[in-house]
Amino acid sequence: MLLTAAGMLFSMTAYESLKQLLFPTITVWQSHIITIFFSTFVALIVAYFVLLTTDRLLRRIAEENILRQKMEDELRVSEQKFSKLFHANPDWVIISNLHSGRYLDVNAAVLRMTGFSREEIVGRTSLELQMWVNPEERKGIVSILLREGRISSHEVKFRMKSGEIRSMLRSAELIDLNGESVMISVCKDITDRNQAALERERLIGQLEESLSKVKLLSGMLPICASCKKIRDEKGEWFQVESYIKDRSDALFTHGVCPDCAQKLYPNFYKE
């Protein structure tokens, strides 16, 4: 409206000046007719440009509204997906303040394993809950995050509410959330895996120790065809029992085979 009024005022002023120059002897009623015609013409031109500008403005506003609504819908869907992944993840997912260590949110896996309730964790720091077995490890993680922005597969130890110590493999990334440095951490419990590895190493050690004590006989053994004595590397002859006993962990018990029993005791052992 203001633009139209200004255009009309400018046009009427220009028209009066032009009329005095071109039609100095025009009659009053002719002047009114020309004035009405000229004013209508100018008003139509101004209205056209006003409508054109307004239509473009309305189109741009509508497009911006559609784009904003689309972005809001995509953001809402993204937040829903993140929420589902956050709470359904079987590993720990923790959102905390980088510098203070204050927990902003944790998923169900953290509550289930640590034994803490959400009210006991959210809003408090890890140091207040004494979850870090070695608090200095957290300072090291913060230093790496400030330098590199992320950390991957770093083994740490956490203390549960019951006092149990669990080994966790931690990965974290630093993000900015509303101007606040926030750390998103994912921790995988590797306590059982570490214990299994220790047990495997223990069994391997026992096996190697046992194998080191085993004495094996190999190669050709010179043996008498008659008395069955065995000759050693020095040329001395030994009974089979003593030779094998000295060179292995085997033990001997003595008995009589059926052939020898019939030969030695024919009255007791008959065919």
pLDDT (0 to 100) of residue 191: 93
pLDDT of residue 5: 53
Distance (Å, whole) CA 82 – CA 93? 11
Kindly tell me if the per-residue pLDDT of 173 is higher than 70. yes
Picking from 191, 214, 14, 178, the residue whose alpha carbon sits closest to that of residue 92 is 191
How many domains are there within the chain?
3
Residue 209: inside a domain, yes or no? no
pLDDT in tens, 42-70: 677 777 777 888 888 888 888 888 888 87
Q: Tell me the C-alpha to C-alpha distance, in Å, between residue 194 and each of 90, 168, 191, 201.
A: 19, 10, 5, 11
Expressed as residue numbers, the domain containing 65 is: 2-82
The pLDDT tens digits for 99-139 are 888 999 999 999 999 999 999 999 999 889 999 999 888 88
Out of 52, 82, 112, a domain closes at 82
- The answer to whether position 264 is within a domain reads yes
Q: Which residue, 44, 59, 82, sits at the end of a domain?
A: 82
- Burial of residue 245 (CB within 10 Å: 0-12, 13-18, 19+) is middle
Is 262 exposed, middle or buried (CB count within 10 Å of its CB: 0-12, 13-18, 19+)?
middle
Position 170 scores a pLDDT of: 92
**Distance in angstroms (rounded) separating the CA atoms of residues 232 and 141:** 67
Q: What is the pLDDT of residue 11?
A: 55
**What distance in Å separates the CA atoms of residue 115 and residue 248, rounded to the nearest whole number?**
56
Report the distance separating Cα 164 and Cα 140, nearest Å.
Answer: 23
Choose the most confident range, by mean pLDDT, from 5-14, 25-34, 258-267. 258-267
pLDDT digits (tens, 9 = 90+) for 145-162: 888 888 988 899 999 999
Residues 21 and 71 in one domain: yes
- Quote the CA–CA distance of 205 and 70 in Å, as a whole number: 63
More confident residue, 261 or 21: 261
Cα 253 to Cα 184: distance, rounded to the nearest angstrom: 70
**Residues 78 and 95 placed together within one structural domain of the fold:** no
Q: For the whole model, what pTM was predicted? A: 0.52
